[in-house]
A and B are shown apart, each in its own frame.
Chain A
């Protein structure tokens, strides 16, 4: 009796039970067959017992390991600026894997950004329909807040070249609005507010502040070309929802980076060119520059009261924030706190108490206590510089500062190629005269010449002190050489302990500047689009087809793997063609592409998404429109014939 023979076709699946035959079963044959019960297969799961719960959660132990196993998910999102690639990037951390690039200011061949009608409408076009700008330089990205933490609605990113601000929807990870700031150049610093200064019910972001670096004539219409002393910069406030510019502030000096307070009352920008110099020597001549604090409530009251002017064709109200106009603290819109020599970076500590400016050309970090700034605005502090509670030496070339939520600050030292970890309260004690206070906790070499730095949740009230990322501007020998242009190094540091531990190098295509890192739970991205969000959507293949109005032709196409509908369409040379394509596939990740050879058309449609593109049919012939985004086993067969009759 061998086992195989005992096992007729699809019967008796269970060899172990078969073995039972050899032992106990003879008892069954003797007529006692009812006495033994084996349970049916779907009842075999043993009763759950508390004892079965054994090891601790795997997810909880990730903190120490930056290297994820296949299938393992990152615990943090990172939102990155792309630099002068002009894009916005999404990284997973701690792995450092790049998950997405969101095109915003510059065209993108993959998604068709800057080619489709919808993206062009967001980017802005010239009267001839061509894009107004095709280059951009993104530096800083920050996300919307609610109750001191990210709420997952929006992120904003700046374009320094063309002074534009773009908003990224964090549900779809797409750019939905771009605003060009009037009367400014070198739009650099950007920061959303965290709540309303007046209305306690508005506990979320409603404004985004934007600082301009470059001094220009106002308006910049050809006047004062050779009178640099008349050049000015403005600090701007953009409405978070409408993306309209709410107001601007005319200031002395310039704006570099920006920060906002957790109580919503203050926004700040550091200044490296209080001199108004137009060559670098001039810009670095003064020993102290400044950090400006904007009293938001007062500025908005001033706007409301009509105390503003406008420049050129811009309708945006501009209030006067110059020193002379703000001498009286009780009515001042702006406070000028002095900071040593060409500072860089202004960062808000997660406890809500301090802003820290890094010295750049001064080896110092300056700690400004916000409550004292508010006291000055209330007339209770005679000298606003008394808000400086610490100004301590950190190292050479301090640039940006991050926080761990345990009272420590981490500042990049560009020239030293180091990160210095220092304790803010100890620095304050030291500054107050306690020379025994050891404020520097640790130093870590990074590779090389670090610029921006940020830690997990550092820009929220919930800084968790787990990971620190530092954007090193030079990589030199850290990666395989690929010619003269080097990748930059984003280095990951474990800051969960007393000592900083460098755990990973990640090459990034030049050249990201700033970034934020936050917990993955804070976002709830949508998996597919809602077809109803697209007014042009072709909701049924039966609606597809060619619709002609003179020489204006609309071709409505649907995609449903593995076919486009219609499978061919006819045009005439000279037609002005608009193709509207809706991807009717509902399956997550089933994206289709649509390319037309010789017509320079390519874009993608994600599930349930609709896009359109307009072009002139100027070449007769047969043109195979095909799916460029791998979709199906019949991907190569997924085509439609565009027939252009001469």
Chain B
């Protein structure tokens, strides 16, 4: 109980302290920020979207707005001249069209305006949950980013990065440090714009070559169709739509493509299929759907009023196909033997030559996710892919060039840097693996054989990794992953930042191999900067001002970082946003991502103080504050390979005195949670002039005229064992 109270007290202290800091840091924007802004009630469903949000801001000139229409939904904006209405463009709410998550795992709710020519006229962020935009990067950066879309055509290839006219790609300037956010935002903009542009005819639908079917007159039963992929299933569970978990699915659908003669006959019977095909015109396609389980209807009642089935959709590439009431026919039963029982069914007709049975398509159930706590509904799509099996098509499946996922594009465009970065990581690991050879070459007086590598790593990590690639790992990533693990893990999200992604693979592997020191001591950009300052200060003669905290204080203060880490973790349970704010205890964002001089003074002061302090004492932030270090220190307990110790170490304190990390205790034990793997003690370990026990032995041997044998792995001269003379007893 007491402990609980104490914990709460401490937590509240931390919260208050950092919240104060945060308040100081953002003296201006807090009034208009869209961070976790409350959206008008019913914004996701109300027909009159523009009564709730300022549509005129994104579609200047329009004064009258229609109700939401279409699928996906949009609003028409009209200008009125002399009593005549003139269509000026369209307004769309991004979450009506796509639920692409940004860095936070949640969508950036954006209101987008587009004129009748398909050019963007306005972009307004209604709500976002991006921590980076809360602190550090001002929201205005995102506004400026969005302004780049104004006047651009929705049908252009717009990407983050530089323009490549030879590839027809228009580049947009990213926001440093918020790449994931802007990549997600670009996807939202282009997807939303295109979805509406295609509906209203600004963008032509893709014309796909029609399928030529292989008809071997095979009688297909249901199980065979399932096995071959001629029918597909789409199951939505209650928990996916925010309902209580239940063994009963929310909806369980099977569907298939009826134009293929074998499938069509299997489902409808030969006569039924023939009758259906005579009803279809050239370029029309029939799809059957049955509901075999679940509590939800895929028809709903929207088609009664509006004539549009608003719960199901077909998507092929960028083209979405919806069904009107006139595109519906009764499915009178599934003939195929072994077909499951069903209680709702349909034949839907796709009336567009843009659709082709030869290419993959998706059957989409358009749902709503209900937040149980607030009752808020948000848009959620569920789909599975359908592609006629290879042997159902004459000539097999056509080759489909799918556009790369955004993360793939990033990996491709930054291949060189990714290669260099990977080489750096591998090189450091290889060098470290060879540490024994280096430390034996080095001596207490001349540590260059080790340091040349370490210092190189530092310089590269500060310049290239930190300032160049902005690849400074951070505790926020740990928190984000942690939440992703709990709620929604999306590889794509993490893969959009290849350097951080690779860095973390390196970190996880090396922490369990050697402990956190290899990352913290050799590659962490901030850590490297911090220690480099210390070393430089020493080199330029500031050594006399440099100090090491007494062990007693060190041993107390080193726990602070764990406290910080668990504090952040605890806060993140309540509010990711607050935890992200509090993660400003890391000066990384200020130092690398945004820049020391681009932030408001409290941040600059904080980061500068830490760096300033580093001049006088080695790595103060790493030792006492860094929550990331703390998070990595704990698993370091279980590292596979530790540093070596010899028997005499328990009484000799030479290494401990020289340990910049204060990681060696009075008994000579190395605390691998604190150790930065600087290898100073390992240099000493084999230095017969510097290691006191070795030095003693060297002197004894020299005196005794014994040879100085090489130093073994145990840190001692390889003992000379007298070989018994053969003739001794003759």
Contact = CB atoms under 8 A, between A and B. Distances in A.
Contact of A29 (B306, B382, B478, B490): B478
B372 interface: yes
A11 B384 contact: no
B378 A10 contact: yes
A10 B478 contact: no
A485 interface: no
A5 B571 CA distance: 12
A25 interface: yes
Residue from A36, A55, A75, A521 with most neighbouring chain B CB atoms (10 Å): A521
Interface string B331-362: 01111001111111000000000000000000
B536 interface: no
Interface string A17-54: 11011001100111111101111111011101110111
A50 B339 contact: no
A520 B240 CA distance: 38
Contacts of A110: none
Contacts of A55: 340-341
A29 B332 contact: no
B240 A588 contact: no
B172 to A, nearest CB: 26
B370 to A, nearest CB: 8
A25 B479 CA distance: 11
Given A41-B382, A48-B226, A588 B342 contact: no
B306 A11 contact: no
A9 to B, nearest CB: 5
B378 A52 contact: no
Contacts of A36: 485, 489
B514 interface: no
B307 A56 contact: no
Nearest to A586: B307
B233 A520 contact: no
Contacts of A527: 325-326
A12 interface: yes
A524 B384 contact: no
Interface in B630-668: 631-632, 634-635
A587 B335 CA distance: 31
A59 B342 CA distance: 8
Interface string B453-474: 0000000000000000000000
A46 B240 contact: no
Interface stretch (B410-418, B572-580, B614-622): B572-580
B325 A38 contact: no
B106 interface: yes
Contacts of A600: none
B540 to A, nearest CB: 37
A33 B242 contact: no
Given A9-B36, A521-B271, A528-B326, A59 B332 contact: yes
Interface stretch (B505-513, B520-528, B591-599): B505-513
Contacts of B229: 48
Nearest to B505: A34
Interface residues of B, number: 88
Contacts of B237: 44
Nearest to A41: B240
A44 B235 contact: yes
Interface in B556-611: 569, 573-577
B485 A589 contact: no
B168 to A, nearest CB: 30
Given A10-B371, A31-B632, A59-B334, A588 B222 contact: no
B485 A33 contact: yes
A23 to B, nearest CB: 10
Contact of B482 (A9, A33, A39, A42): A33
Given A44-B235, A528-B326, A7 B332 contact: no
A43 B223 CA distance: 22
A28 B233 contact: no
Contacts of A30: 631, 634-635
A588 B307 contact: yes
Interface in B471-527: 478, 481-482, 484-491, 494, 504-505, 507-508, 511
Interface string B360-383: 000000000111111010101111
A32 B508 contact: yes
A60 interface: yes
B471 to A, nearest CB: 16
Interface in A105-155: none
B232 interface: yes
Contact of A52 (B245, B340, B508, B575): B340
Contacts of A49: 226
Contacts of A586: 307, 326
A75 B236 CA distance: 31
B53 interface: no
A15 B373 CA distance: 10
A17 B330 CA distance: 39
Interface in A578-625: 586-590
B304 interface: yes
Nearest to B326: A527
Nearest to B569: A29
Interface in A65-94: 71, 73, 75
A227 interface: no
Residue from B233, B279, B333, B485 with most neighbouring chain A CB atoms (10 Å): B485
A327 interface: no
B507 A31 contact: yes
A644 to B, nearest CB: 30
B373 A4 contact: yes
Interface in B284-339: 304-307, 325-326, 330, 332-335, 338-339
A14 B239 contact: yes
Contact of B232 (A48, A56, A59, A71): A48
Contacts of A99: none
Contacts of A44: 235-237, 240, 382
B489 A75 contact: no
A59 B269 CA distance: 14
Contacts of A16: 239, 245
A5 to B, nearest CB: 6
A432 interface: no
A25 B483 CA distance: 9
Contact of A34 (B224, B376, B504, B635): B504
A4 B332 CA distance: 46
A37 B481 contact: no
A201 interface: no
B244 interface: yes
Residue from A7, A13, A25 with most neighbouring chain B CB atoms (10 Å): A13
B233 A25 contact: no
B205 interface: no
Contacts of A50: 223-224, 226-227
B272 interface: yes
A57 interface: yes
A6 B573 contact: yes
A480 interface: no
Nearest to A590: B307
A572 to B, nearest CB: 30
B574 A5 contact: yes
A8 interface: yes
B382 A40 contact: no
Contacts of A15: 239, 244-245, 372
Nearest to B305: A587
A24 B105 CA distance: 20
Top 10 A-B pairs, shortest CB-CB distance: A59-B333, A33-B481, A587-B307, A50-B223, A588-B325, A58-B341, A13-B242, A38-B489, A55-B341, A28-B485
Interface of A: 1, 3-18, 20-21, 24-25, 28-34, 36-42, 44-46, 48-50, 52-60, 71, 73, 75, 520-521, 524, 527-528, 586-590
5 contacts: A59-B332, A73-B332, A521-B332, A524-B279, A588-B307
Given A13-B369, A48-B226, A588-B326, 8 more contacts: A1-B573, A31-B507, A37-B489, A40-B489, A44-B240, A49-B226, A60-B333, A521-B332
